[in-house]
């Protein structure tokens, strides 16, 4: 009898499809209520940290350069109060084979797929991860399918997304491009079921465990260079795996730096809206992903996401689109490094935050990404103008996502803007409560306190306020 391949039926089989295609039974980590065994799930990869480092080294991944941005630090100090202006370092992840930190996620997942005997891998992604998976699959002789949300209903795609598709195809992947909407996970699940390929999910424990090496390298390289651990590490935040893995790696190295998430402010734009899809100039690292996935991680393509950023995040800031474009030019003109927008999101935030910190402090931007034709500033700004966005120079505080992009008139106007962490934590608790039909147990309360990096008293007070 032919299986029902309707959207509802396939999504209803998500758990069994992922179990077969990822080699993981997520049910074993469940408690029957809100709580589940997160650390048990992370350990289920079956690889030790040293084994993951070895796997990545085999794929030419990791041990990327740590670079001190002396000129950008000097510029930040010009605008900082006397005695302030932390040293700014950047981890140059563009040195990985496909040009981003996501090679770390892909190396672990693809190695495991090969080890388990899968003939190919499937990845649902806007692009950088797809390129990483395709690159690693090519090294291992596996087939690769990348499912990409690419176009609006007019079949118009953003330059950055089209660039990422080209990169995936260059590594030999089959790229299936979709219009914006809820089909991304549905199509990827169908493909997993039909092909029998491995699920190289961004949100699996394989992917997130792979990023732990990045945090560990940040901590150990900074200490080797300066004699101490960094005081703060800024992570561009979208789906949460970047921040989660980096923070876990920092802790593994014994480093308790402040972990700061940074996202591009796209407030007011709906990510699944056809007519708003091309009115944003950033395809990842923005609040349209960063906030929803922080406040409810399990909206992903696996039953339980390994990316749980609120467990590790100490501070969450936003930066405006024009400020990231400006920082991209600043990095190139002052430091001779031309890099893509994802890492420059956290660099723009770090430039502002460094001015709050003393001169002997160290702040690290933990990633860069490659740049290419579609990621450059001018194609992005030209595309914005073509879609009715007003581009100007002035005060970025006046920027309205979907209507304007304002490049700062001078560097003093770059400002990281704090989000209310307790409000964000409360949102996760509210989402969690909506999944059960009973009063949360004491185990659930403890679990939620870990989920939001707070106290059981905070969780109980929040639940009371939501009643």
Structural domain spans, the chain = 7-55+100-205, 61-98+210-418, 422-466
C-beta neighbour count of 300 within 10 angstroms = 21
Q: What is the largest CA-CA distance in the chain?
A: 75
The number of helices, as runs of H, and strands, as runs of E, in the chain is 18, 13
Q: Cα dist. 424→315, 371, 383 in Å?
A: 11, 32, 33
Closest CA to 281 of 399, 125, 201: 399
What is the pLDDT at residue 245? Answer: 98
Model confidence at 220: pLDDT above 90: yes
- Strand, coil or helix: 67: strand
**Residue 360 CB coordination number (10 Å):** 12
CA dist., res. 237 & res. 309, Å (int): 8
Question: Residue 286: is it exposed, middle or buried by C-beta count within 10 angstroms (0-12/13-18/19+)?
Answer: buried
State mean pLDDT over 227-241. Answer: 97
> Do 7-55+100-205 and 61-98+210-418 have matching folds?
yes
Pick the residue with more confidence: 456 or 183? 456
Please check the confidence at residue 1 and state whether its pLDDT lies above 70.
Answer: no
Both tokens assigned to 135: 């690159």
Mean pLDDT on 341-353:
97
> Residue 84 carries which DSSP code?
B
Instruction: List the structure tokens of 218.
Output: 């940040």
Whether 176 and 148 have beta carbons less than 8 Å apart is answered as yes
Please give the share of the chain, as a percent, with pLDDT higher than 70.
Answer: 100
CA–chain centroid gap for 380, Å, is 20
pLDDT at 158: 87
**Cβ contact 388:242 at 8 Å:** no
Which residues, including other chains, have CB under 8 Å from residue 314's CB and lie 6 or more apart?
A: 258, 259, 260, 421, 453
pLDDT reported for residue 109: 94
Rounded CA gap, 191 and 197, in Å?
A: 8
35 Cβ contact list (under 8 Å, min separation 6): 441, 443, 444, 446, 447
Q: Which residues pair with 318 in a beta bridge?
A: 263, 417
Predicted pLDDT of residue 314: 98
Q: How far apart are CA 302 and CA 321, in angstroms?
A: 30
Mean pLDDT estimate for the chain: 95
Q: Is residue 342 scored above 70 in pLDDT?
A: yes
Measure Cα distances from 51 to 22, 63, 75, 106 in Å.
Answer: 19, 15, 41, 15
What does the block give as tokens for 92? 């140059």
Which architecture, in CATH terms, is 7-55+100-205? Answer: 3-Layer(aba) Sandwich (3.40)
CATH number of the 61-98+210-418 domain: 3.40.50.1100
pLDDT at 121: 97
Q: Is the pLDDT of residue 275 over 90?
A: no
Mean pLDDT of 397-406: 97
Instruction: Measure the CA–CA gap between 57 and 104, rounded to whole angstroms.
Output: 10
274 vs 295: CA distance, rounded Å: 24
* Number of neighbours of residue 39 by Cβ within 10 angstroms: 9
Beta strand 362-365 pairing with 87-91: parallel
Q: How many CA atoms lie within 13 A of 25 on its CB side?
A: 2
> Is the pLDDT at 13 greater than 70, yes or no?
yes
Instruction: Check whether 260 has a pLDDT greater than 90.
Output: yes
Least confident of 108-112, 271-275, 310-314: 271-275
User: How far apart are the two ends of the chain, measured CA to CA in Å?
Assistant: 47
Tokens found for residue 33: 């209520």
pLDDT tens-digit map of 69-87: 999 999 999 999 999 999 9
**Residue 394, H or E segment:** strand 390-394
Give me the residue label for tokens 């009063």. Answer: 439
């Amino acid at each position: 009898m032919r299986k029902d391949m309707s959207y509802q039926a396939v999504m209803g089989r998500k758990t069994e499809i992922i179990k077969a295609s990822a080699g993981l039974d997520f049910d074993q980590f469940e408690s029957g209520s809100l709580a589940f065994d997160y650390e048990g799930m992370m350990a289920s990869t079956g690889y030790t940290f040293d084994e993951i480092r070895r796997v990545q080294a085999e794929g030419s991944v990791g041990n990327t350069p740590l670079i001190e941005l002396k000129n950008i630090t000097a510029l930040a100090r010009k605008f900082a109060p006397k005695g302030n202006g932390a040293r700014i370092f950047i981890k140059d992840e563009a040195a990985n084979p496909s040009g981003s930190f996501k090679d770390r996620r892909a190396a672990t997942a693809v190695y495991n797929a090969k080890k388990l005997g899968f003939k190919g891998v499937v990845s649902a992604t806007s692009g950088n991860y797809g390129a990483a998976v395709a690159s690693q699959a090519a090294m291992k002789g596996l087939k690769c399918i990348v499912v990409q949300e690419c176009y609006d209903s007019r079949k118009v795609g953003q330059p950055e997304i089209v660039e990422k598709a080209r990169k995936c195809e260059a590594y030999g992947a089959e790229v299936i491009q979709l219009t914006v909407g809820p089909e991304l996970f549905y199509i990827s699940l169908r493909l997993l079921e039909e092909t029998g390929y491995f699920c190289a999910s961004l949100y699996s424990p394989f992917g997130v465990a792979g990023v732990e090496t990045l945090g560990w390298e940040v901590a150990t390289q900074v200490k080797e260079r300066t004699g101490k651990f960094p005081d703060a590490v800024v992570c561009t935040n979208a789906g949460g795996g970047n921040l989660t893995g980096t923070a876990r790696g920092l802790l593994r190295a014994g480093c308790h730096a402040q972990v700061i998430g940074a996202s591009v402010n796209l407030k007011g734009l709906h990510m699944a809206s056809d007519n708003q899809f091309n009115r944003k100039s950033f395809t990842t690292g923005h609040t349209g992903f960063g906030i929803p996935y922080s406040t409810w991680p399990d909206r992903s393509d696996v039953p339980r996401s390994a990316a749980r950023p609120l467990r590790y995040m100490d501070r969450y800031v936003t930066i405006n689109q024009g400020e990231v474009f400006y920082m991209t030019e600043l990095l190139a003109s002052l430091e001779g490094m031309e890099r893509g927008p994802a890492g420059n999101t956290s660099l723009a935030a770090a430039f502002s935050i460094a001015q709050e910190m003393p001169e002997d402090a160290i702040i690290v931007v933990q990633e860069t990404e490659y740049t290419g034709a579609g990621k450059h500033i001018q194609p992005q700004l030209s595309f914005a103008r073509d879609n009715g966005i007003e581009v100007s120079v002035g005060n970025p505080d006046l920027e309205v996502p979907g209507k304007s992009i304002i490049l700062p008139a001078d560097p003093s106007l770059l400002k990281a803007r704090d989000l209310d962490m307790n409000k964000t934590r409360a949102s996760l608790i509210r989402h969690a409560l909506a999944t059960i039909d009973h009063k949360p147990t004491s185990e659930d309360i403890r679990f939620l306190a870990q989920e939001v990096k707070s106290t059981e008293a905070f969780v109980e007070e929040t639940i009371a306020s939501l009643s």
